[in-house]
Amino acid sequence: MSTFDITSRSIQSVEILDLSGELDAHTAPVLEESITRLIDEQKYSIVVNFSSLDYISSAGLGVFMAYIEELRDLGGDIKLTNMKESVFNVFDLLGFPALYDILEEEQEAIQKYLNSNLQD
């Protein structure tokens, strides 16, 4: 059985999800629940920190695809940060860098949200 954990925290108006372990078909529903909860709470500026994620499968990638359009329609986004090279390679192989803001550092993603809020 895969081990996976997700914790959430807020920095100003930005919600951060910290992923750890392995995100696959068995653990993807946990991430789905977390994103759904944020949307239900009208929290649409989401950063996903991958620094402790060791593995992602296509089912894990599918979770991000399932929610990105809805979040963008609501004026939000999902920014992805701190990926290990092996995890980034899976995203890159499927063309995700063209669809998502993938940043090296969490703080950079948070700053992008805060800067865009200042311009609104």
CA torsion 61-64-67-73 (nearest 10°) is -130
The whole-model pTM stands at 0.94
Name residue 111's beta-bridge partners: none
61, 94 contact by CB (below 8 A): yes
Distance CA 37, CA 99 (A): 23
pLDDT value at residue 116:
84
CA atoms within 13 A on the CB side of 54: 6
pLDDT value at residue 1:
59
Task: Domains for the chain: give ranges and CATH numbers.
Answer: 6-105 (3.30.750.24)
Q: Which residues contact 89 (CB under 8 A, 6 or more apart)?
A: none
Distance CA 96, CA 50 (A): 15
pLDDT value at residue 120:
53
pLDDT value at residue 7:
97
pLDDT value at residue 2:
72
pLDDT tens string, the chain, 120 residues long: the values are 579 999 999 999 999 999 999 999 999 999 999 999 999 999 999 999 999 999 999 999 999 999 999 999 999 999 999 999 999 999 999 899 999 999 999 999 999 999 986 665
Quick count: other Cβ atoms within 10 Å of Cβ 9? Answer: 11
pLDDT value at residue 70:
95
Rg of the chain in Å (alpha carbons): 13
Phi (first) and psi of residue 66, to 5 degrees:
-70, -25
N- to C-terminal Cα distance for the chain? 45
